[in-house]
């Protein structure tokens, strides 16, 4: 999830955008350790309605650099969206 202030929430951890790719690389390694392929995973990107679209693109690019290829985008309007 991308917050309105540009923080990324990933698997329960919140981090600045600059640290996100490091977390992704660790996630890719965990998938491989379980015998799964990153190309079989769909990344769901949720963003606060006030998040900058350029930051959403940065998230997608970081995912692509680590091997993820499929994405689903979700808008988040308020806390009820999860």
Taking 3-state DSSP, the helix, strand and coil percentages for the chain, each rounded to the nearest 5, stand at: 45, 30, 30
56 Cβ contact list (under 8 Å, min separation 6): 2, 45, 47, 73
Average pLDDT score, the chain: 89
Q: pLDDT-derived band of residue 64, with 50, 70 and 90 as boundaries?
A: very high
Checking if the pLDDT of 20 tops 90, the result is yes
Checking if the pLDDT of 78 tops 60, the result is no
Instruction: Single out the residue of 29, 40, 43, 38 nearest to residue 1, CA to CA.
Output: 43
11-15, 21-25, 48-52: which has the minimum mean pLDDT? Answer: 48-52
Sign of CA dihedral 45, 80, 23, 37: negative
Residues written for the chain: 82
């Amino acid at each position: 999830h991308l917050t309105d202030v540009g923080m990324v929430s990933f698997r329960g951890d919140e981090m600045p955008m600059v640290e996100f790719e490091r977390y992704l690389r660790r996630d890719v390694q965990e998938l491989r350790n379980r015998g799964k392929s990153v190309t079989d995973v769909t990344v769901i990107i949720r963003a606060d309605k006030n998040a900058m679209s350029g930051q959403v693109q940065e998230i997608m690019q970081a995912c692509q650099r680590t091997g993820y290829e499929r994405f689903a985008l979700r808008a988040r309007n308020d806390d009820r969206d999860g």
